[in-house]
Amino acid sequence: MATALTCTMSGPAQVRAGEPVEVVFQLSNPTAGTVRVLDWHTPLEGVLNTIFDVSRDGTSLDYRGPMAKRAPPTADSYRTLSPGMSVEGKVDVARFYDLQAPGTYHIAFRGPLMDVARDGEPVPAPSGQYRPVEVQCPVVEVTVTP
């Protein structure tokens, strides 16, 4: 698919152990056409499974949050992005990963976007024929201090 969505992620550069680590995920549509994005498995819906790869000083951390099981998506599961529009989701990554130990943490969005429909394409995807799209999001680096 030629849909070129852009992604940015940001978070605090430094926090004390035990403080929230709020990451802001922003998805933008710089194209001339409208797209609809299934928000599942993205910070746009919150954190309901392993949507991030998190590591401390090079060591991967385990996800400690919910694992959602659900019925097929409905049209309400999609976000509409008109040309030039952005949507964002904010999540506290410290609620889902052990970020207590001092060190440097890297937080990366796992992707891809599960289903992206261009204007005129049906949502939800017919018969589960999802149209995944990779997006390149910058890695967030956070230093946790005692």
Q: What is the pLDDT of residues 83-126, one digit of tens each?
A: 999 999 999 999 999 999 999 999 999 999 999 999 889 999 88
| Token code pair at residue 13 | 């550069």
Domain residue extents for the chain: 6-145
Q: What is the pLDDT of residues 93-105, one digit of tens each?
A: 999 999 999 999 9
Strands (E), 76-115: 78-81, 86-92, 103-109
| Token code pair at residue 54 | 């998190």
Is CATH 2.60.40.1170 the right assignment for the domain spanning 6-145? no
pLDDT recorded at residue 3: 60
| Listed residue (62, 69, 21, 28) closest to 48, CA to CA | 69
Q: What is the pLDDT of residues 48-75, one digit of tens each?
A: 999 999 999 999 999 999 998 888 999 9
